[in-house]
Protein backbone atom coordinates (compact mmCIF):
# COMPACT_ATOMS: atom_id res chain seq x y z
CA UNK A 1 0.00 0.00 0.00
CA UNK A 2 1.16 3.52 -0.82
CA UNK A 3 1.27 6.20 1.86
CA UNK A 4 -1.74 8.50 1.45
CA UNK A 5 -1.62 11.28 4.07
CA UNK A 6 -3.85 13.67 2.11
CA UNK A 7 -6.50 11.07 1.27
CA UNK A 8 -6.49 9.77 4.87
CA UNK A 9 -8.03 13.07 5.98
CA UNK A 10 -11.13 12.20 3.95
CA UNK A 11 -11.87 9.22 6.16
CA UNK A 12 -13.18 11.40 8.98
CA UNK A 13 -16.58 13.12 9.09
CA UNK A 14 -20.08 11.68 8.98
CA UNK A 15 -20.52 11.20 5.21
CA UNK A 16 -19.67 7.75 3.79
CA UNK A 17 -16.00 7.98 2.83
CA UNK A 18 -14.96 6.81 -0.64
CA UNK A 19 -11.40 6.51 0.66
CA UNK A 20 -12.49 4.00 3.31
CA UNK A 21 -14.27 2.00 0.61
CA UNK A 22 -11.27 2.10 -1.72
CA UNK A 23 -8.91 1.00 1.06
CA UNK A 24 -11.12 -1.97 1.86
CA UNK A 25 -10.95 -3.10 -1.78
CA UNK A 26 -7.24 -2.23 -2.08
CA UNK A 27 -6.39 -5.05 0.37
CA UNK A 28 -7.20 -7.59 -2.32
CA UNK A 29 -6.86 -5.61 -5.56
CA UNK A 30 -3.46 -4.30 -6.65
CA UNK A 31 -5.11 -1.96 -9.18
CA UNK A 32 -7.10 -0.23 -6.42
CA UNK A 33 -4.02 0.10 -4.20
CA UNK A 34 -2.29 1.83 -7.12
CA UNK A 35 -5.40 3.89 -7.83
CA UNK A 36 -5.14 5.30 -4.31
CA UNK A 37 -1.46 5.97 -4.96
CA UNK A 38 -2.12 7.83 -8.18
CA UNK A 39 -4.98 9.79 -6.58
CA UNK A 40 -2.78 10.82 -3.65
CA UNK A 41 -0.21 12.00 -6.18
CA UNK A 42 -2.89 14.02 -7.99
CA UNK A 43 -3.98 15.59 -4.68
CA UNK A 44 -0.35 16.57 -4.09
CA UNK A 45 0.39 17.80 -7.63
CA UNK A 46 -3.12 19.23 -8.17
CA UNK A 47 -3.18 17.78 -11.68
CA UNK A 48 -4.64 14.66 -13.25
CA UNK A 49 -2.35 11.71 -13.92
CA UNK A 50 -4.40 10.09 -16.68
CA UNK A 51 -3.12 10.27 -20.24
CA UNK A 52 -5.11 11.86 -23.04
CA UNK A 53 -7.89 9.73 -24.51
CA UNK A 54 -7.75 5.98 -25.13
CA UNK A 55 -9.46 3.88 -27.80
CA UNK A 56 -10.49 0.41 -26.73
CA UNK A 57 -13.65 -1.61 -27.22
CA UNK A 58 -15.18 -4.97 -27.99
CA UNK A 59 -15.60 -6.42 -31.46
CA UNK A 60 -18.87 -5.48 -33.13
CA UNK A 61 -19.35 -2.31 -31.08
CA UNK A 62 -17.92 1.16 -31.54
CA UNK A 63 -18.95 2.39 -28.11
CA UNK A 64 -19.52 1.42 -24.49
CA UNK A 65 -15.96 1.37 -23.18
CA UNK A 66 -13.77 4.33 -22.26
CA UNK A 67 -10.03 3.66 -22.43
CA UNK A 68 -7.74 5.17 -19.76
CA UNK A 69 -4.01 4.90 -19.09
CA UNK A 70 -2.02 6.51 -16.28
CA UNK A 71 0.93 8.71 -17.16
CA UNK A 72 2.90 7.15 -14.27
CA UNK A 73 2.84 3.47 -15.32
CA UNK A 74 6.25 2.60 -13.80
CA UNK A 75 5.26 3.85 -10.38
CA UNK A 76 1.67 2.60 -10.47
CA UNK A 77 1.63 -0.47 -12.76
CA UNK A 78 -1.76 -1.56 -11.38
CA UNK A 79 -3.44 1.31 -13.19
CA UNK A 80 -1.32 1.29 -16.34
CA UNK A 81 -4.62 0.28 -17.99
CA UNK A 82 -7.73 1.49 -16.16
CA UNK A 83 -10.59 1.32 -18.66
CA UNK A 84 -14.21 2.02 -17.80
CA UNK A 85 -17.03 -0.25 -18.95
CA UNK A 86 -20.55 1.19 -19.23
CA UNK A 87 -23.21 -1.43 -18.52
CA UNK A 88 -26.75 -0.51 -19.58
CA UNK A 89 -28.86 -0.15 -16.44
CA UNK A 90 -32.38 -1.50 -15.95
CA UNK A 91 -35.09 1.18 -16.36
CA UNK A 92 -35.51 3.19 -13.17
CA UNK A 93 -32.47 1.49 -11.57
CA UNK A 94 -34.51 -1.30 -10.00
CA UNK A 95 -32.38 -4.36 -9.20
CA UNK A 96 -32.77 -7.65 -7.45
CA UNK A 97 -29.88 -8.67 -5.20
CA UNK A 98 -29.39 -11.62 -7.55
CA UNK A 99 -28.78 -9.25 -10.47
CA UNK A 100 -26.36 -7.12 -8.44
CA UNK A 101 -24.46 -10.18 -7.22
CA UNK A 102 -24.17 -11.36 -10.80
CA UNK A 103 -22.67 -8.02 -11.88
CA UNK A 104 -20.34 -7.90 -8.87
CA UNK A 105 -19.08 -11.44 -9.51
CA UNK A 106 -18.31 -10.64 -13.14
CA UNK A 107 -16.55 -7.40 -12.27
CA UNK A 108 -14.65 -8.92 -9.38
CA UNK A 109 -13.22 -11.49 -11.78
CA UNK A 110 -12.43 -9.19 -14.71
CA UNK A 111 -11.87 -5.76 -13.21
CA UNK A 112 -11.01 -3.70 -10.16
CA UNK A 113 -14.34 -4.39 -8.34
CA UNK A 114 -14.98 -0.65 -8.22
CA UNK A 115 -18.35 0.59 -9.39
CA UNK A 116 -19.98 3.91 -9.97
CA UNK A 117 -23.64 3.37 -9.15
CA UNK A 118 -24.50 5.09 -11.42
CA UNK A 119 -22.91 7.29 -14.08
CA UNK A 120 -24.81 10.53 -14.61
CA UNK A 121 -26.31 9.34 -17.90
CA UNK A 122 -27.61 6.30 -16.02
CA UNK A 123 -25.27 3.41 -16.81
CA UNK A 124 -23.86 1.09 -14.19
CA UNK A 125 -20.17 1.96 -14.41
CA UNK A 126 -17.46 -0.67 -14.04
CA UNK A 127 -14.36 1.34 -13.11
CA UNK A 128 -10.98 0.06 -14.13
CA UNK A 129 -9.77 -2.95 -16.08
CA UNK A 130 -7.17 -3.94 -18.66
CA UNK A 131 -7.60 -4.32 -22.41
CA UNK A 132 -7.24 -8.12 -22.36
CA UNK A 133 -10.13 -8.43 -19.87
CA UNK A 134 -12.65 -6.51 -22.02
CA UNK A 135 -13.79 -9.31 -24.32
CA UNK A 136 -14.08 -11.99 -21.58
CA UNK A 137 -15.97 -9.52 -19.35
CA UNK A 138 -18.31 -8.62 -22.22
CA UNK A 139 -18.89 -12.31 -22.99
CA UNK A 140 -19.87 -13.00 -19.36
CA UNK A 141 -22.17 -9.97 -19.26
CA UNK A 142 -24.04 -10.89 -22.43
CA UNK A 143 -24.32 -14.52 -21.36
CA UNK A 144 -26.28 -13.24 -18.33
CA UNK A 145 -28.42 -10.91 -20.44
CA UNK A 146 -26.60 -7.61 -19.80
CA UNK A 147 -25.34 -5.32 -22.54
CA UNK A 148 -23.05 -2.32 -22.80
CA UNK A 149 -24.37 1.23 -22.71
CA UNK A 150 -23.52 4.02 -25.14
CA UNK A 151 -20.50 6.28 -25.51
CA UNK A 152 -19.01 8.43 -28.25
CA UNK A 153 -20.99 10.03 -31.05
CA UNK A 154 -23.90 7.67 -30.58
CA UNK A 155 -27.29 7.29 -28.95
CA UNK A 156 -26.41 7.15 -25.26
CA UNK A 157 -28.19 4.90 -22.77
CA UNK A 158 -31.70 6.30 -22.26
CA UNK A 159 -32.78 6.72 -18.66
CA UNK A 160 -36.00 7.45 -16.80
CA UNK A 161 -37.49 8.35 -13.44
CA UNK A 162 -39.13 5.58 -11.41
CA UNK A 163 -42.42 6.49 -13.05
CA UNK A 164 -45.46 4.34 -12.47
CA UNK A 165 -43.44 1.87 -10.42
CA UNK A 166 -43.54 4.11 -7.37
CA UNK A 167 -45.06 7.48 -8.20
CA UNK A 168 -48.70 8.56 -8.37
CA UNK A 169 -47.90 11.50 -10.68
CA UNK A 170 -46.41 9.60 -13.59
CA UNK A 171 -48.36 10.52 -16.73
CA UNK A 172 -47.01 7.66 -18.82
CA UNK A 173 -44.98 4.51 -18.24
CA UNK A 174 -41.48 6.00 -18.21
CA UNK A 175 -39.78 2.68 -17.55
CA UNK A 176 -41.51 1.04 -20.50
CA UNK A 177 -40.67 3.91 -22.88
CA UNK A 178 -37.04 3.90 -21.68
CA UNK A 179 -36.78 0.14 -22.27
CA UNK A 180 -38.53 0.32 -25.66
CA UNK A 181 -36.33 3.20 -26.84
CA UNK A 182 -33.22 1.34 -25.67
CA UNK A 183 -34.21 -1.78 -27.61
CA UNK A 184 -35.34 0.14 -30.68
CA UNK A 185 -32.10 2.14 -30.96
CA UNK A 186 -29.64 -0.70 -30.25
CA UNK A 187 -27.75 -0.16 -33.51
CA UNK A 188 -27.48 3.59 -32.92
CA UNK A 189 -26.30 2.97 -29.32
CA UNK A 190 -23.55 0.49 -30.11
CA UNK A 191 -22.32 1.85 -33.44
CA UNK A 192 -21.67 5.60 -33.38
CA UNK A 193 -22.96 7.21 -36.57
CA UNK A 194 -24.17 10.64 -35.42
CA UNK A 195 -22.34 13.98 -35.63
CA UNK A 196 -22.09 13.87 -31.83
CA UNK A 197 -23.78 12.31 -28.78
CA UNK A 198 -27.57 12.07 -28.45
CA UNK A 199 -29.39 11.42 -25.18
CA UNK A 200 -32.99 10.51 -24.34
CA UNK A 201 -34.43 10.94 -20.85
CA UNK A 202 -37.96 10.16 -19.75
CA UNK A 203 -39.64 11.94 -16.84
CA UNK A 204 -43.14 10.99 -15.77
CA UNK A 205 -44.26 14.52 -14.88
CA UNK A 206 -42.98 18.12 -14.96
CA UNK A 207 -41.16 17.64 -11.64
CA UNK A 208 -38.62 16.05 -13.99
CA UNK A 209 -36.81 13.74 -11.56
CA UNK A 210 -34.20 12.67 -14.14
CA UNK A 211 -33.50 16.29 -15.13
CA UNK A 212 -34.47 15.47 -18.71
CA UNK A 213 -34.92 19.12 -19.63
CA UNK A 214 -31.29 19.89 -18.83
CA UNK A 215 -29.42 16.70 -19.61
CA UNK A 216 -31.01 15.07 -22.63
CA UNK A 217 -31.09 16.14 -26.26
CA UNK A 218 -34.56 14.58 -26.37
CA UNK A 219 -36.48 15.26 -23.16
CA UNK A 220 -39.77 13.40 -22.73
CA UNK A 221 -41.77 14.95 -19.91
CA UNK A 222 -45.14 13.55 -18.84
CA UNK A 223 -48.13 15.87 -18.78
CA UNK A 224 -51.95 15.80 -18.88
CA UNK A 225 -54.44 17.83 -20.88
CA UNK A 226 -57.69 17.54 -18.91
CA UNK A 227 -58.50 18.73 -15.41
CA UNK A 228 -56.57 18.26 -12.17
CA UNK A 229 -58.57 15.87 -10.00
CA UNK A 230 -59.58 17.40 -6.67
CA UNK A 231 -60.53 15.44 -3.55
CA UNK A 232 -62.57 18.00 -1.58
CA UNK A 233 -62.42 16.11 1.72
CA UNK A 234 -58.62 15.90 1.52
CA UNK A 235 -58.36 19.65 0.74
CA UNK A 236 -60.30 20.22 3.97
CA UNK A 237 -57.93 17.92 5.84
CA UNK A 238 -54.92 19.92 4.57
CA UNK A 239 -56.61 23.18 5.60
CA UNK A 240 -57.35 21.73 9.04
CA UNK A 241 -53.83 20.40 9.52
CA UNK A 242 -54.78 16.70 9.66
CA UNK A 243 -52.73 16.10 6.50
CA UNK A 244 -49.13 17.34 6.41
CA UNK A 245 -48.05 19.36 3.34
CA UNK A 246 -45.78 17.68 0.79
CA UNK A 247 -46.21 14.30 2.47
CA UNK A 248 -44.47 15.65 5.58
CA UNK A 249 -41.53 16.91 3.53
CA UNK A 250 -42.35 20.58 4.03
CA UNK A 251 -41.14 22.71 6.93
CA UNK A 252 -44.73 23.90 7.54
CA UNK A 253 -46.72 21.90 10.08
CA UNK A 254 -49.99 23.15 8.66
CA UNK A 255 -50.73 24.31 5.14
CA UNK A 256 -52.07 27.81 4.57
CA UNK A 257 -53.74 26.96 1.28
CA UNK A 258 -54.08 30.56 0.13
CA UNK A 259 -50.56 31.70 1.02
CA UNK A 260 -48.67 28.50 0.23
CA UNK A 261 -50.63 27.16 -2.73
CA UNK A 262 -53.00 29.43 -4.62
CA UNK A 263 -51.01 32.67 -4.23
CA UNK A 264 -47.90 30.89 -5.51
CA UNK A 265 -49.60 29.46 -8.60
CA UNK A 266 -47.52 30.85 -11.53
CA UNK A 267 -50.56 31.49 -13.74
CA UNK A 268 -52.81 32.56 -10.83
CA UNK A 269 -55.47 30.17 -12.05
CA UNK A 270 -56.42 28.89 -8.58
CA UNK A 271 -58.83 30.23 -6.04
CA UNK A 272 -59.49 29.28 -2.41
CA UNK A 273 -62.15 31.07 -0.41
CA UNK A 274 -61.49 29.23 2.82
CA UNK A 275 -63.84 26.42 1.87
CA UNK A 276 -63.65 25.45 -1.79
CA UNK A 277 -60.57 25.07 -3.97
CA UNK A 278 -61.17 25.98 -7.61
CA UNK A 279 -58.81 25.54 -10.53
CA UNK A 280 -59.25 27.19 -13.91
CA UNK A 281 -57.63 24.29 -15.75
CA UNK A 282 -57.52 26.07 -19.12
CA UNK A 283 -54.93 28.42 -17.67
CA UNK A 284 -52.98 25.83 -15.67
CA UNK A 285 -49.45 25.32 -17.03
CA UNK A 286 -48.90 22.03 -15.19
CA UNK A 287 -46.09 23.30 -12.96
CA UNK A 288 -46.90 20.65 -10.29
CA UNK A 289 -46.65 23.06 -7.34
CA UNK A 290 -50.18 22.54 -5.97
CA UNK A 291 -50.06 18.78 -6.58
CA UNK A 292 -46.64 18.47 -4.93
CA UNK A 293 -47.85 20.30 -1.82
CA UNK A 294 -51.15 18.42 -1.51
CA UNK A 295 -50.55 14.95 -2.95
CA UNK A 296 -53.53 13.44 -1.12
CA UNK A 297 -55.93 16.09 -2.44
CA UNK A 298 -54.80 16.83 -5.99
CA UNK A 299 -53.90 14.48 -8.81
CA UNK A 300 -52.92 14.98 -12.48
CA UNK A 301 -55.72 14.47 -14.99
CA UNK A 302 -56.45 11.22 -16.77
CA UNK A 303 -55.89 12.30 -20.40
CA UNK A 304 -52.14 11.88 -20.15
CA UNK A 305 -49.17 11.85 -22.47
CA UNK A 306 -45.93 13.77 -22.75
CA UNK A 307 -44.43 17.02 -23.94
CA UNK A 308 -41.37 16.50 -26.13
CA UNK A 309 -38.53 18.98 -25.79
CA UNK A 310 -35.29 19.04 -27.74
CA UNK A 311 -31.84 20.46 -27.62
CA UNK A 312 -30.35 20.66 -24.13
CA UNK A 313 -26.61 20.31 -23.73
CA UNK A 314 -23.72 21.46 -21.53
CA UNK A 315 -21.91 24.73 -22.44
CA UNK A 316 -19.48 23.48 -25.11
CA UNK A 317 -19.47 24.96 -27.75
CA UNK A 318 -22.21 27.55 -28.11
CA UNK A 319 -23.28 27.89 -24.46
CA UNK A 320 -25.46 25.73 -22.23
CA UNK A 321 -29.01 25.12 -23.32
CA UNK A 322 -32.11 23.55 -21.84
CA UNK A 323 -34.43 21.67 -24.14
CA UNK A 324 -37.34 23.62 -25.60
CA UNK A 325 -40.75 22.43 -26.67
CA UNK A 326 -41.10 20.86 -30.11
CA UNK A 327 -44.28 18.81 -29.51
CA UNK A 328 -46.64 20.18 -26.80
CA UNK A 329 -48.48 16.90 -26.39
CA UNK A 330 -48.00 13.37 -27.68
CA UNK A 331 -49.81 10.27 -26.49
CA UNK A 332 -47.42 7.77 -24.99
CA UNK A 333 -48.78 4.32 -25.57
CA UNK A 334 -46.79 1.14 -26.10
CA UNK A 335 -45.10 0.57 -28.61
CA UNK A 336 -44.56 4.34 -29.06
CA UNK A 337 -44.37 4.26 -32.86
CA UNK A 338 -44.97 7.99 -33.27
CA UNK A 339 -42.19 8.80 -30.80
CA UNK A 340 -39.71 6.38 -32.36
CA UNK A 341 -40.44 7.72 -35.84
CA UNK A 342 -39.93 11.31 -34.72
CA UNK A 343 -36.61 10.50 -32.99
CA UNK A 344 -35.55 8.68 -36.17
CA UNK A 345 -36.45 11.73 -38.28
CA UNK A 346 -34.59 14.07 -35.93
CA UNK A 347 -31.38 12.02 -35.85
CA UNK A 348 -31.55 11.60 -39.62
CA UNK A 349 -31.99 15.36 -40.21
CA UNK A 350 -29.20 16.11 -37.75
CA UNK A 351 -26.84 13.49 -39.23
CA UNK A 352 -27.41 14.94 -42.69
CA UNK A 353 -26.86 18.59 -41.75
CA UNK A 354 -24.86 18.55 -38.51
CA UNK A 355 -21.21 19.52 -38.44
CA UNK A 356 -18.68 17.31 -36.73
CA UNK A 357 -19.35 17.47 -32.95
CA UNK A 358 -22.39 19.69 -33.27
CA UNK A 359 -25.19 18.79 -30.87
CA UNK A 360 -28.70 18.76 -32.30
CA UNK A 361 -29.61 21.84 -30.22
CA UNK A 362 -26.74 23.78 -31.77
CA UNK A 363 -27.78 22.71 -35.25
CA UNK A 364 -31.30 24.03 -34.53
CA UNK A 365 -29.81 27.37 -33.52
CA UNK A 366 -27.63 27.47 -36.64
CA UNK A 367 -30.27 26.53 -39.21
CA UNK A 368 -33.34 27.81 -37.38
CA UNK A 369 -36.59 26.34 -36.11
CA UNK A 370 -38.24 26.54 -39.53
CA UNK A 371 -35.63 24.32 -41.20
CA UNK A 372 -35.82 21.95 -38.26
CA UNK A 373 -39.61 21.63 -38.31
CA UNK A 374 -39.62 21.15 -42.08
CA UNK A 375 -36.78 18.63 -41.88
CA UNK A 376 -38.45 16.42 -39.29
CA UNK A 377 -42.06 16.87 -40.41
CA UNK A 378 -43.53 18.90 -37.52
CA UNK A 379 -45.96 21.84 -37.60
CA UNK A 380 -44.97 25.19 -36.05
CA UNK A 381 -47.05 25.82 -32.93
CA UNK A 382 -47.08 28.77 -30.50
CA UNK A 383 -45.98 26.59 -27.57
CA UNK A 384 -42.50 26.25 -29.08
CA UNK A 385 -41.61 29.87 -28.25
CA UNK A 386 -41.66 31.91 -25.06
CA UNK A 387 -42.12 35.15 -26.98
CA UNK A 388 -42.25 35.99 -30.68
CA UNK A 389 -39.07 37.39 -32.23
CA UNK A 390 -38.20 40.96 -31.19
CA UNK A 391 -36.36 41.88 -34.39
CA UNK A 392 -37.75 42.27 -37.92
CA UNK A 393 -35.06 40.25 -39.74
CA UNK A 394 -37.47 37.64 -40.96
CA UNK A 395 -36.37 35.48 -43.85
CA UNK A 396 -38.97 35.07 -46.59
CA UNK A 397 -38.77 32.28 -49.09
CA UNK A 398 -39.69 32.89 -52.72
CA UNK A 399 -42.77 30.72 -52.30
CA UNK A 400 -43.92 33.04 -49.49
CA UNK A 401 -43.94 35.99 -51.91
CA UNK A 402 -45.63 33.96 -54.60
CA UNK A 403 -48.34 32.88 -52.19
CA UNK A 404 -48.89 36.44 -50.97
CA UNK A 405 -49.09 37.68 -54.55
CA UNK A 406 -51.83 35.17 -55.13
CA UNK A 407 -53.69 36.62 -52.17
CA UNK A 408 -52.83 34.07 -49.48
CA UNK A 409 -52.15 35.59 -46.13
CA UNK A 410 -50.38 32.66 -44.46
CA UNK A 411 -48.86 29.52 -45.77
CA UNK A 412 -48.04 26.39 -43.92
The site for other proteins (CB under 8 A) is made up of: 51-57, 59-63, 66-67, 69, 81, 151-153, 187, 191-193, 195, 197, 351-352, 356-357
Query: Whole-number minimum distance, CB 347 to other proteins, in Å?
Result: 11
Least distance between other proteins and beta carbon 213 (Å): 21
Q: How far is the CB of 309 from other proteins (least distance, A)?
A: 22
Nearer to other proteins by C-beta: 55 or 390?
Answer: 55
Q: Nearer Cβ to other proteins, position 61 or 238?
A: 61
Nearer to other proteins, 183 or 193 (CB): 193
In this complex, which beta carbon is closest to other proteins, that of residue 64 or of residue 222?
A: 64
CB of 67 to other proteins, least distance (A): 6
3-state secondary structure the chain: CCCCHHHHHHHCCCCCCHHHHHHHHHCCCHHHHHHHHHHHHHHHHCCCCECCCCCCCCCCCCCCEECCEECCCCCCHHHCECCEEEECCCHHHCCCHHHHHHHHHHHHHHCCCEEEECCCCCCEEEECCCHHHHHHHHHHHHHCCCCECCCCCCECCCEECCHHHCCCCCCCCHHHHHHHHHHHCHHHHHCCCCCCCECEEEECCCCCCCCHHHHCCEEEEEEECCCCEECHHHHHHHHHCCCCHHHHCCCCCCCCHHHHHHHHCCCCCEEECCCCEEECHHHCCCCCHHHHHCCCCEECCCCEEEEEEECCECCCCCCCECCEEEEEEECCCCCCHHHHHHHHHHHHHHHHHCCCCCCHHHHHHHHCHHHHHHHHCCCCCHHHCCCCCCCCCCCCCHHHHHHHHCCCCCCC
Q: How far is the CB of 375 from other proteins (least distance, A)?
A: 15
Q: Which is nearer to other proteins, 207 or 351 (CB)?
A: 351
Closest approach of Cβ 352 to other proteins, in Å?
Answer: 7
Residue closer to other proteins (CB basis): 316 or 385: 316
Amino acid sequence: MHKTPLLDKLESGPWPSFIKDLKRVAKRKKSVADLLGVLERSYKDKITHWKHGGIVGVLGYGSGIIGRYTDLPEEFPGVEHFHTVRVNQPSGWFYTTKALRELCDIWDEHGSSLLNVHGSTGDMIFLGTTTDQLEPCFAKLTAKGWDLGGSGSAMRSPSCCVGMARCEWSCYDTMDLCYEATQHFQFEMHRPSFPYKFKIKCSGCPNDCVAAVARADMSVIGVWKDDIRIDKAAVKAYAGGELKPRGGGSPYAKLDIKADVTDLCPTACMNYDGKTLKIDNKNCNHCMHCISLMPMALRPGTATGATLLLGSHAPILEGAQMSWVIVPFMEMEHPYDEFKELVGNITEWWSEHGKNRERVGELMLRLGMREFLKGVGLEPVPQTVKTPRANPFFFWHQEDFDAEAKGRKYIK
